[in-house]
Structure 1
């Protein structure tokens, strides 16, 4: 296992982060326990969760993934100091979470306390904003004019960011949060937070997690360049594009119990003709070189300059082992060139 600094935090994290959003719907407490212990045995020290989880999100299941992790931590207290535990406050739009309201200072204070209670821990290593209050070009909203940036009040958004940082400082001063980060944000969002933290001596965002994969590489180069030079850890989520890059959904297949058989909050936006054509080509290329399609996609993600730790998830130990093993693969120049040729033809397939 390889390790890297989590941005400017000084914390060493494994280059694989164990995602947890299936725990509570597709996976049971027992499944989660097995995955956590398997991952730790493989050298993974980084676990990511969110108050929103499990997915698909619902009021009935809200917070259950944090509770599952908390149950494991309560039975394995000696392991807590060896783990980097990350969670996230949900943004606006969900009626069962703070009446669908924006993230605010008071919301941060309450949500940190609620997450600590569910996680059965005294502190959170990395506390992240799951998505910004303003609409951002994520979740398939990345075509020109799908988001109208000119209609956003930069002054208002910046004032709320200042309020959020003040609240995060309060949590850090209380020992409840060690470091803070972003998710599903943009270069502008990163830099506004950096300016505020420097001007007012408030916490610096140390990381950002955004969707990034062979089907969704829009953060390269501009946002990732910004992360490198500002010492912000870049944490790709959905490196398999919601499972699409495994090839299991080709030709309209829907394996029993798989995520695409369930209702999705944002719909199956990755299921386009272009996406499936790209996946088919990546799968053929992978198998020609002795890898699974998922392994090819994960090995590619790992080698991208600026990637700190890739968030992976699984619904079985077999799948988790296959995904972890992908990070031992070194793609040679010839294979990387062949991957790049496909990427050129399908740069934004959904």
Structure 2
């Protein structure tokens, strides 16, 4: 396993981050236990969760994943030091979580305490804002006309960010969290957090996790360049495009128990005719080079300059083994050229 710095935190994390969002809906406590044990035994020292999980998010599934991790930690408290634990506070919009309110300094403090209780730990290594208070160009909102930046009150957003930073600072001074990061945010969001933390001597953003894959690479090059030069860890999520890049959904297939058989909060927006064509081409390249389609997609993501640690999720240990093996694979120049040709033909297929 290879390790990389988590921004300027002084922490080193594995290139593989164990994602957990299926634990509690698609996966049981026993499934989660097996995945944790396998990941730790094979060098993974980074685990990501969120108060919103498991998915799809519902009032009934809220907090289930953190509770499952907490159950494991309650039985293995001596192993807490073996990994970097990351979780997230939800952004606005879910009525069953704090009445759907914006993130604020006050809600950060409340949510941190609730997560600590569910996780059965005294501290969170990386506390992330799941999505901003303002609408951002994520979840298929990145094409022109989907959102309107000029309607946003910049000063109001800045004031909210400052308030959030003050809440995070209080949690850090109390020893409840060690560092903080962003999720589903933008270059401007990163820059504003940096500006305000510098101006007011408040905690510095350590990382950002955004959707990034062969089917969705809008953060390259501008946001990732910003992360590289500001020493902010870039953490791709959905590197398999919610399973699309495994090829298992080709031809309209819906394997029993797979993610796309569940109702999706934002719809199955990654299921498009262009995605079908792109994935078919990537599956062919993977076969040519003796890899599974998932391994091709993950190995490609891992080699992108500026990517720190890729978040992977699995519903079985066999899937986890397959996915983790990708990080020991090297794509040849020839394979990368073939992948690039397909990518250029389908740069934004959803």
TM-score (norm 1): 1.00
1:98 corresponds to = 98
Aligned to 1:47: 47
Question: 1:84 aligned to 2:84?
Answer: yes
Q: Secondary structure at the match of 1:8?
A: coil
Partner of 2:311: 311
Q: What is the alpha-carbon distance in structure 1 between the residues aligned to residue 131 and residue 106 of structure 2?
A: 17
Secondary structure of 1:79's aligned partner: helix
State the SS of the aligned residue for 2:8. Answer: helix
Question: Paired residue for 1:146?
Answer: 146
Deviation at 1:147, TM superposition (A): 1.1
Give the corresponding residue for 1:298: 298
1:180-329 mapped onto 2 (5 Å cutoff): 180-329=180-329
Counterpart residue number, 1:11: 11
Task: Measure, in 2, the Cα distance between the counterparts of 1:176 and 1:79.
Answer: 18
- 1:197 is paired with a residue whose SS is helix
Deviation per CA, 1:198-241, whole angstroms, max 9, x where unpaired?
00000000000000000000000000000000000000000000
Q: Deviations over 1:73-126 (max 9, x none)?
A: 111111101110000000011011011111011100000000000000000000
Once the two structures are TM-superposed, the CA of residue 19 in structure 1 deviates from its matched residue by: 0.1
User: What's the CA shift string for 1:149-181, capped at 9, x where partnerless?
Assistant: 000001000000000000000000000000000
Partner in structure 2 of residue 36 of structure 1: 36
TM-score, normalised by the number of residues in structure 2: 1.00
Structure 1 unmatched runs, 5+: none
Alpha-carbon distance in structure 2 between the residues aligned to 1:107 and 1:182: 16
Distance (Å, rounded) in 2 between the aligned partners of 1:46 and 1:145 = 37
Q: Matches of 1:253 and 1:317 in 2, distance apart?
A: 22
Distance in 2, matches of 1:147 and 1:194, equals 24
Q: SS state of the match for residue 182, structure 1?
A: strand
Aligned length: 350
Q: Hey, what's the Cα distance between the residues in 2 that align with 1:17 and 1:348?
A: 25
Shift >2 Å, 4+ stretches: none
What is the distance in 2 between the residues matched to 1:30 and 1:52?
21
Task: State how far apart, in whole Å, the 1-side matches of 2:65 and 2:224 are.
Answer: 29
Q: For 1:24-81, what per-residue CA distance to the aligned partner results, in whole angstroms no more than 9, with x for missing partners? A: 0000000000000000011000000000000001001110100000000111111101
Q: CA deviation at 1:16?
A: 0.2
Show structure 2 runs of 5+ residues with no match: none
- Looking at structure 2, the residues matched to 60 and 331 of structure 1 have their Cα atoms a distance apart, in angstroms, of 42
Secondary structure at the counterpart of residue 254 of structure 1: coil
SS of the equivalent of 1:128 reads strand
Aligned to 1:331: 331
Is 1:121–2:109 an aligned residue pair? no
Q: CA RMSD in A?
A: 0.4
Q: CA deviation at 1:23?
A: 0.1
- 1:145 deviation in Å? 2.2
CA distance in 1: counterparts of 2:168 and 2:268, whole angstroms: 34
- Structure 2 equivalent of residue 179 of structure 1: 179
1:67 matches 2:50: no
Separation of aligned partners in 2, 1:145 and 1:195:
29
Q: What's the secondary structure of 1:61's corresponding residue?
A: coil
Report the secondary structure of 2:87's partner residue.
strand
